Every structure is written in C-alpha cells, then in structure tokens.
Structure 1
Amino acid sequence: MSFLPNWGARNTVHAYHSKNTVKLPIKTDAPNEESTSIIPFAEFIRQNVPELKQDYKYWLKPWLFNGTLQSLYVSKADFSQVYKVYYGREIMTITDEISKEYINLKMGEITADYVINPLETSKAEFQAKYQETLPEGYPKLHPRTRYLTESEQSTVFKEWSDNDKPIVIIQHGLAGGSHEPAIRAVAQSLFEGAANVVVLNSRGCCRSRITTPVLYTGLHTDELRYFVRRLHKKFPNKQIHLAGFSFGGLVIANYLAEEGDKSIITSAITCSSPWNLADSTFAITKSLSGKYLFEPALRFFLMNMIKVNLETLKQDPEFDVEDYYRFKKEIKSTIEFDNKYSCKLAGFPTATTYHLAASPVMRMMKIKTPTLIINAKDDPMVSTDYPYLEVEANPYLYMATSDLGGHYAFINPKGEFWFSDVIKKFVDSFNTQIDKDKNVDDGGYNVYQTQFKEKIELY
C-alpha cells in the first residue's frame, strides 16, 4: 500500500486481463459483426466501452481531488433532483419448503425494488397509494418507493415479458440499499438505456423488515441464487446481468465462483468491491478519514440494523439482549461487530477466519462468467492491494482500476457518477451483440482448473 496520496482531477484507467480472454459468441445480426462470429472479451470492452481501455483519461470534479473527498461528497451531496428513480417493492416469503432447496437460505422475507415508471400522476396520489400498500407495522420507505400490489407486480412482469430488454440485478453495499445515490444513478441509466432493472435488498437493509432472526454475511449467497433462478424461470430467454457495489460486489463474486460453469448469468460488474475482506477491515483504519469518518459510519449502520430489528432477533434463544446493550456501548470497530455477529452467522469462530473465508480472492479463479471489475486506487474504504495476478490468470475477468475515484464515487465535473454510463454501455453492448444461447470459448480454462482443482476446491 502506497503512503503517497493520489491527488488530482485528471484520471487514468489501467486495464488488467488475461492475454487470451474468453471469446464471446456474436449474434448474427450484431451491428459490429465481421467475418468471425466471436470476439475476445477484452477486445469487446475496448470496442464498446472505450472508457475502460488502458490509459484512457477523463476528468473528475476538480475540488474533489482525492478519494476521501470523492467519497464524502457522495454521502453529503443532494442527488434527489438528479436521479428521480421510482421503485416498486416486492416482498418474497421464503418458506420452509423453499429454504430446504438451498444451503444457507433461511426462512423469512426478502425484498426487491423494481425500477418502474411513475404509477401515479401526482404527489398526493402517490402518497395515498403509498399509505394503502404499506403493510401494517412495517417501516416507512425511502422517497419514490412504495410496495406493489399483486396486480401491479403482475403488470411489471408482463411488461418485462413483452419487451426484448435484458435483466439487470443490482446488489447494494454493506447496510445500504436501492436508495443509495450511486445505485439510483446506475438504475436510472440502465432503465433509460433499455434494461429491466431490479435491486435486491439484503435482509434488514433499505427499511426492509426482518421477520425471522436472520441477518446476512458475505457468504450468504443463496438469496441472490434464489432470486436469479426465480427470474430465469419466469424469463428463460432473457440475458441476466449482475451489478454489485462494494459489499454487494463481494457477494456477487462469491456467488459466481460457487456457480462456476453452471452459471446462467450473462455478465457481471463489480464496482469498488473488496477482494480481500480481511485486509480491507484493517485498511479502512489506516487513514484519518477511514478511522474517524468511514469506519464509524459503517459501525453505526450495522448497529442500527440490529437496533431496528431487535424484537425479531430476540426470538433467537442464543441472542443475548443484555449482552447486545453492553456491546452497543463498548463497540469500537466493525471487526468487533463481525466477531460478535457475522462470523457466527457464517459458521466461523472469529472475525478474521470469516473475513478470510468470505474474501472473493480465495475463489475468484473459479468464476466462469464474463466479469468487469472497477476499482479506484485511492479508495479509502477497502484494501487497494488488488488481485491483479488472479485477474490475469482467469480469462473471464477484466479489471479496470483508476488512480482516482474513491469508494464508488468517481464524480465527474457535472457532479454525476462516471461509471453509470459506463455500465449502461457495457450491458447494452452485451444485449445487442452477444448471443447468450451459445457457449463462450475459454481457451482450455477447464484444463487449467483441473490442474489446480484440489487447491481451488479448498475455498
């Protein structure tokens, strides 16, 4: 880790990938079709998303000249009039019958926020429908978000069925949700760029209600797995793309590694995600901004998630309420939170063992889905010792790191998120050019995996 600060407004992209990335099958009617019917993943990105090419340069907002300022701006600026996304929320109930089909999918409720056109013509009409659909005892939702009725949910799925747009499932950051400015920016850009977009909220996040005493960890991938299978069953002919931000990208990477060559995902994008979680939990405290601003904020959000769901969590006989109140006064780090709660949920004795096990770097060699990775070298919230060697060894991966950008900020001179249009270009190009029904050519990567299978399977 460099101790020299990255400061400035002129940003430079650095690209990392295998010498022979997987070859993607081109649709016969693709606009860029040449004499061949395949295109290397890296070349596909260079042609269609030039913003991710080696040495590409672009401007960020001048007075946000380092990762700390970029990241703070996102948390303090008012984006409410910039990204006016409307969401319709669906509650999915995981029954005992459903949970038995998965390893770590527990009973209870999970929520998904579908990006929709406004269903009401006035604020008063929206508020009336909002009150009508809000379940009794449930927390109020963020602006421009309300629960869908069953008929409205059916209408959303009917619209999806009738169009030829791909599906993009977004996973938010730790203790975040669909309301986050960066999530809204990407959701709006994708929705306007011809995609069906939905944000999957982790349990207890984004004002969702925990109905069974279960939280989530970086190794709880079955909620995403269940949701992907559910949508794939409803829309078997559609491309499905995943986009994960920060902790959400970690979950997506772990999920893709577990799926391996069984993956039904067309492509994935991670942005500002930690690849070594153990290293990241220490890295965040190595700067003054991390130690005194970002880490305490994460700690607050995590403890608040416990607080607002305390009555349900108390149903677990192993949850000690008195110990929780003592811990609430004494907690000094997110490592302590994970050592108290997360590691036990994931089945590990300590925070460190959980962090190591949940780190995507431990299994990213098993990812067999074309995956775009975006990170900044001045990110104040995750370790910036990125897994370049692993990326270059796996032909399914393309990493674009930049000198500046902070933690899923990358705020450009207009005050907008640079990556929102980049992700839209990436997904749109896949939908118009790549044939999801044909297999990619990975140049013998199966042989590579077989050679190191015993070591890879340890994780």
Structure 2
Amino acid sequence: MFFCNRMFDLLLEPSTLFGDLLGCLVSVVVLSIGVFLSWRGSPDIPRTLFATSPVYISVRKSKGSLSVERITLRDFVESKIPSLYLPFVPAWWLFNGHLQSIYSVLGDFSKVDNIVYHRKHLRLMDGGTLGLDFTPTNYENLKPETPIIVVMHGLTGGSFASYVRAVLARSCSPVEQNGFGYRAVVINFRGCAGTPITTPQLYSACHTDDLRQSLFYLSAMFPKAPLLGVGYSLGANVLTRYLAEEGGNSRLVSGCVVNCPWDLKQNNEKLLNTFAGRYIYHRAMGKSMQNVIRHHAGVLSKSPDTLMTKRVAAILAMKYPRGDEVDRIMMTFVGGTLPPFESAEAYYVCASSHKVLGDIRVPFLSINSADDPIVRTVPEDGAGNGYVVMSLTAGGGHLGWFEASDRLGEARSWIKKPVLEWLRAFGEDVVHEGQRGRPLHEVNGFVKEVGRDNIGCKEVGDEAGYISGTRCQEGLLSGF
C-alpha cells in the first residue's frame, strides 16, 4: 500500500518532520492494534442535533420551481442531507482516529480530484496579500447567479489540500459531467500555498478581516451569486467567527465547517496531556508552521534589529517546536490582532469559536468526529441557536473520514458526501432573500464596505496565472 510505504519513508528519513518521532508513532500504532482487537465494526450513524426552537427557511417546492414554501431547517436537513442519517464505515485498516488522521497527511491523493485553478492576488489596505484560487478556469463566463463556494483551508493547507479538492472536483464540474456546475474560490492564508508575504503579518484563528475583505471582492465581482462558506480546521474557526461577528449582515448565505477546533484553550490542554498529542500532533503542527515562517523569513525579518526579526530567529532555531510554542512566540504577535496577546493562552481564549455560536444568523452545519485526536471538545448543543446544526460521528479522526474504496489499500472520502449535499441544497433549493452585507463602494481603487473605512482590497494582477491543484509548498502538512 502506498500509504504504508509513504509513512515509513517519512519516519525513517532523519531530515523529515517525523524522523525523530518513530518511537512515538510506533506507540500509537500499538495502541491502535489494541483498539482494533476490541472493535466490532458497528455502524457509525452520525448524531445530528438541532436546537429546540426551530428556524424557518424559504425553499422551492420543486427543482427550478417559482413556488416557495417555508419549512424548518431541521425538516430541510433531514430531507436534503441524507448522508447525516446513514452510517460512516471506516476502512478496516483505518479503524481509529489516529490512523484516519495520519492517512489524511500521508495518503497519496495526487491522482484523484485533479483541479486547475486560476489565481488572483488581492492587495489589502494594510499592504498584505491574499491568493484567491478560482475554479473552474472559465468561472467568469458562467451565469451571474451561479453559486460560489468560498473555502477556508486548515492550518498550513491551501487549495492543494485533498479535502478541498474532494469537494470542488464534483461541485465545480459541468452538469453534463455529473457535476453541479458551480464556481469556487479558495482563500489561501497569507504565506500559504505559494501566496507571498508582503507585510510582517501572518494569520490566526481569530483574524477574520482577510476573509471579510475577500468577500467584499467576490460580492462586487459577482453581485447576483449566492456565496456558500466551507471551512476546515483552523479555517473552520475563522469562518465560524466571521459568521458570528456579521450576524444578519453576513455575505455568506450559509456555512459548513469540518473539524472546527472550537475551544482552543481546552483542546490545547488536552493535547498537551496526552503522549500522542504532545509529541506527534502538536509537533507536526508546530513544524509545519515553522516551515511557513522559514519560507518567508526574508520578508518577515527584513529589518535586522526589530522584535519581529528576533522572533523569527527564535522560531527557526527550534528543532521540533510544538504548535503552542509557535503560537506563543509568533502568532500572538503577528496573527492579525492588535494589540498583541500577552500569551498563547490569552490568544486561545480570545480566538475560540464555541462561545460565539449563538450569534450566527445563517444556516450553519458543523461536522466533527468523537475520535479526533486534535479536537477533543465539541459544543454539541450549538449554543441553543436554531440556525446551527451540530453533527458528530463516532469515528473519522481529523480531516479523515476515509472509507474503503474498490482498490485494495486505497480509501475514499466520506465527509465530502454531506458537504456536497449541503452545498447543493443551499445552492439550488433554498431561496435567498434580501441583501447580503452592507453596500460596497470603491475608494482609491479599494473595494470597501460602507461604514468600514479601515479595510478594503483591490486586485493586483494575475501574476500566478493557472496553477495545478495538486502542487503543495514543500514542508507543509495539508492534513492539519
């Protein structure tokens, strides 16, 4: 199996991220075998929870119909998202959250869901740059009302991530090829997936303005198109916080998040209290973030005597930094929030999204797995918000949910099923009423929202042109 060969190649090569973690991973595998011996393969039907106070949405009585009816969000989900009521059966050789999560990082996805993107660079008012990857490449020629899927990737992922491509390959294929015929744009964080760093600022779990400004641009470019939000891991946290901050003014008509980390402080503490959490997952995330900083060290430390330069040097000097160590030194300082946080714990408390669920005012679906080794705490009650649907599977790991495929030793994604059903339902069946977001205007070439003069964006050309969706920046782990 390619997965097994790839895992051991990485583990045994001293120069790689996992080179010094062989013993730790062997321990996890031994533990997994013990779990497997007691496993009975019982069906895993997701537990999907709704608030007791219903929310009503307007839907078409039939496809393409002009007749509209009002039904509860619960009734709509039960009829249009059938995957949430069918079992997830993991591949027999990926029988727990550890193996599912590891496969999401080390599995070979280069031959599936191949996508070509057209990249545009957005320059923000603070001088920063975002890489927006559009697909299909003829997206500007589609009908004005064609839905747009807006994707926020994980910690150091990007448009190349397999979990992103798994959804977009189907949803953005032409209808005659059994696709949805939608458009999509992946918002690559500053410095990720080849996006240049043009200011001494990165991104963080609480910085929502980069998403907000990207939505200004998309709304101005496609004013008739409904914008459907999808977020994974760290990107899920950013998406959730954006929806909560905007409330009824959200430019996104719906949101779907996968493996959102929710209570960052509590989940960090639980990671540090487990052997695999402290020595495998935390260090994998820390090393991947270190590689992002290393790739852009020249820009971030341009001035030799600044605090930024000292912090970059401190990060690069660490052999295998944990994620919370990188957060303490760097993300609290340049994660997009001013003034900087005093500690990583203060950053986690502020950035956590579980406490803002009650402020969301668009239909919102969250999917987590109970055996996710990174996200151990999930707010299953959805804060009692009728717009929020919380779904929890027993298995699936972190950005995993792999089922056995028809080919021996390979697996296919289960999670794309409910995500695609959600996107199709809100792209085709729901009637989106009223204006989304405050009015936009242009000031000195920057697209801004009326009443928000401090943020805005403008396109700065197509320098990147067309790029392959399977191209990954060296040293990054897309599974996190």
Question: Which of 243, 249, 258 lines up with 2:236 in the alignment?
Answer: 249
Partner amino acid, structure 2, of 1:27:
R
The reply on whether 1:421 has 2:451 as its aligned counterpart is: no
Task: Quickly say closer, same or farther: Cα 1:195–1:14, change in 2 above 3 A.
Answer: same
Cα distance change of structure 1 residues 8 and 336 upon mapping to structure 2, 3 Å threshold: farther
**CA offsets 1:199-223 (integer angstroms, 9 cap, x no match):** 1000001122101111111121111
Match of 1:274 among 246, 256, 261: 261
Matches within 5 A, 1:316-335: 318-322=306-310, 324-330=312-318, 332-335=321-324
State, as a whole percentage, how many aligned pairs show the same letter. 26
Query: Aligned match of 2:355 in 358, 362, 381?
Result: 362
Cα pair 2:332 2:341 within 8 Å, conserved: yes
Task: Call closer, same or farther: CA 1:259–1:245 in 2, change over 3 Å.
Answer: same
Kindly provide the CA deviation profile for residues 92-149 of structure 1, in whole angstroms up to 9, marking residues without a partner as x.
122xxxx2xxxxxx312110111225xxxxxxxxxxxxxxxxxxxxxxxxxxxxxxxx
2:187 is aligned with 1:200: yes
The aligned counterpart of 2:79 is 47
Q: How far apart are the structure 2 equivalents of 1:357 and 1:45?
A: 31
**Cross-structure match for 1:344:** 333
Match of 2:128 among 108, 113, 117: 108
Deviations for 1:5-33, whole angstroms, at most 9, x for unmatched residues? 69565322001111233111123654799
Q: Which residue is 1:378 aligned to?
A: 371
**Distance across 2 between alignment mates of 1:434 and 1:109:** 34
Match of residue 379, structure 2, among 383, 387, 394: 387
SS of the equivalent of 1:12 reads: coil
- Compared CA separation, residues 64 and 222, structure 1 to 2 (3 A): same
One-letter amino acid of the structure 2 residue matched with residue 206 of structure 1: A
Q: CA separation in 1, counterparts of 2:255 and 2:35?
A: 30
Residue aligning to 2:392: 401
The 5 A counterparts of 1:251-266 are 251-266=238-253
Pairing of 1:52-451 with structure 2 (within 5 A): 52-53=84-85, 56-94=86-124, 99=125, 106-116=126-136, 156-157=139-140, 159-160=141-142, 162=143, 164-192=145-173, 193-315=180-302, 318-322=306-310, 324-330=312-318, 332-345=321-334, 346=337, 347-383=340-376, 385-389=377-381, 391=382, 393-414=384-405, 415-437=411-433
- Is the deviation greater in 401-410 or in 231-240? 231-240
Q: CA deviation at 1:285?
A: 3.3
* CA distance in structure 2 between the aligned counterparts of 1:156 and 1:434, rounded to whole angstroms: 22
Q: 1:392 to 1:5 in 2, by over 3 A?
A: farther
Contact 2:129–2:190 (8 Å) recurs in 1? yes
Aligned counterparts of 1:382 and 1:171: Cα–Cα separation in 2: 18
Residue 443 of structure 1 corresponds to which residue in structure 2? Answer: none
Give the structure-2-normalised TM-score.
0.75
Distance 1:426 1:163, change over 3 A: same
1:281/1:334 contact within 8 Å kept? no
What residue is the counterpart of 1:445 in the other structure? none
- SS of 2:419's equivalent? helix
Corresponding residue pairs, total: 383
Contact kept? 1:171, 1:201, Cα under 8 Å: yes
1:19 aligns with 2:52: yes
Deviation at 1:322, TM superposition (A): 4.7
2:461 is matched with which residue?
A: none
2-structure distance, mates of 1:439, 1:50? 30
Distance 1:323 1:274, change over 3 A: closer
TM-score (norm 1): 0.78
Q: Is residue 38 of structure 1 aligned with residue 70 of structure 2? A: yes
1:381-432: CA deviation from partner (whole Å, max 9, x where unpaired): 122x21123x151011001100000001100111111121321111111222
* Matching residue's letter, 1:93: R
CA RMSD of aligned residues (A): 2.4
Secondary structure at 2:391 match in 1: strand
Contact 1:26/1:33 (<8 A) preserved: no
Aligned equivalents of 2:63, 2:172: Cα separation in 1: 21
* Alpha-carbon distance, 1:319 to partner: 3.3
Once the two structures are TM-superposed, the CA of residue 327 in structure 1 deviates from its matched residue by 4.2
Residue 284 of structure 1 aligns to a residue in which SS? helix
Q: Which residue of 2 aligns with 1:128?
A: none
Deviation at 1:380, TM superposition (A): 0.8
Look up the equivalent residue of 2:400 and give its one-letter code. Answer: A
Aligned AA (1:395): G
- Unaligned 5+ segments in structure 1 are 100-105, 118-154, 441-459
Query: Where do 5+ consecutive residues of structure 2 fail to align?
Result: 1-33, 174-179, 406-410, 437-480
Paired residues of 2:312 and 2:330 also in contact (CA < 8 A): no
CA displacement at 1:303 relative to structure 2: 0.8
Give the superposition deviation at 1:323.
5.0
Once the two structures are overlaid, the 10-residue window that deviates more, 56-65 or 176-185, is 56-65
The CA distance in 2 between the partners of 1:220 and 1:92, in whole Å, is: 17
CA shift for structure 1 position 181: 1.0
Query: What's the CA shift string for 1:70-91, capped at 9, x where partnerless?
Result: 0111111111111111112111
Q: Which amino acid aligns with 2:373?
A: P
Counterpart of 1:175 in 2: which secondary structure?
coil
- Asked whether the 8 Å contact 1:194–1:428 carries over to 2, the reply is no
Please state how far the C-alpha of 1:165 moved relative to its aligned partner. Answer: 2.4
Runs of 4+ residues over 6 Å off in structure 1 = 31-34
Contact conserved, 1:189 with 1:420, CA < 8 A, in 2?
no
What is the rounded CA distance, in whole Å, between the counterparts of 1:287 and 1:5 in structure 2? Answer: 17
Partner SS state of residue 427, structure 1: helix
| Matched AA of 1:57 | P
CA distance in 2, matches of 1:20, 1:75: 40
